[in-house]
Amino acid sequence: KAGVTQTPRYLIKTRGQQVTLSCSPISGHRSVSWYQQTPGQGLQFLFEYFSETQRNKGNFPGRFSGRQFSNSRSEMNVSTLELGDSALYLCASSLQGYEQFFGPGTRLTVL
Amino acid sequence: ELKVEQNPLFLSMQEGKNYTIYCNYSTTSDRLYWYRQDPGKSLESLFVLLSNGAVKQEGRLMASLDTKARLSTLHITAAVHDLSATYFCAVDTDGSGNTGKLIFGQGTTLQVKP
């Protein structure tokens, strides 16, 4: 069974630009969660989607948004990038109520 | 707000020694997860602990959960260099597993020296 995939794996952007990251969950998983990992703040929850609906949102500004498609694939978008948005962005998929399996992550660098 | 705290945050140990990583959390939850992260890599699921008194073992690692004390431990037996990594515990925010929202501890970086 294929694992969680994320594209792209690496991104370099400049301040003020926007970026879209993609996540394909494990087949059959309908829940996709997104996390931001930085050395200073650790792993922080961004949001979670289940059956195309956002069920939970973390404490991030509105510049961070996401969506989920009918095939459970998910995208997250960050607009008006700031230097502090440089991070490893991880998505995880799960069957409802079970453990989350993480993808390899997208490393975003904002210059 | 749920808080998850690990200690120690950094652990340097000799091969062959035993040690324990502690994970405390602030609100009731019956679901706790342990993950491993190697440098530059993603998170690998190690253990899923779903009830009070749960104990799981895999190789030299053993995890346990005490929901009354809001404490989980990850015990390392006879450490080997391959166990060097950062270990995270994470708690499901409402305990039902239906939120898809995990709160992570700060991580414990384990360095095993030959």
| Overall average pLDDT of the B87-109 stretch | 85
| Region of residue B106 (left: phi > 0; alpha: psi -120 to 50; beta: else) | alpha
Gap between the Cα atoms of A61 and A24, Å rounded: 24
Q: For residue A100, is pLDDT > 60?
A: yes
Of A33, A42, A101, the CB nearest to B45: A101
Strand partners, B71: B24, B66
| Tens digits of residue pLDDT in A33-83 | 999 999 999 999 999 999 999 988 999 999 999 999 999 999 999 999 999
Spell out which residues of chain A touch residue B10, defining contact as CB-CB under 8 Å: none
- Rounded to the nearest angstrom, the minimum Cα separation between A32 and chain B is 7
Q: By CA distance, what is A87's nearest residue in B?
A: B40
**According to the model, what pLDDT value does residue A21 have?**
98
Spell out which residues of chain B touch residue A25, defining contact as CB-CB under 8 Å: none
The answer to whether residues A77 and A23 touch, using CB atoms and an 8 Å cutoff, is: no
Q: For residue B102, is pLDDT > 80?
A: yes
| Tens digits of residue pLDDT in B13-58 | 999 999 999 999 998 777 899 999 999 899 999 999 988 888 999 9
Does B35 reach chain A within 8 Å, measured CB to CB? yes
Q: Which residues of A touch B (CB under 8 A)?
A: 31-33, 35, 42-45, 48-50, 55-56, 58, 90, 92, 94, 96-105
Contact A102 B102 (CB under 8 A): no
Test mutation, B42, B49, B89, B93, chain A, max A CBs within 10 A = B42
Kindly report the number of other CB atoms within 10 A of residue B55's CB atom: 12
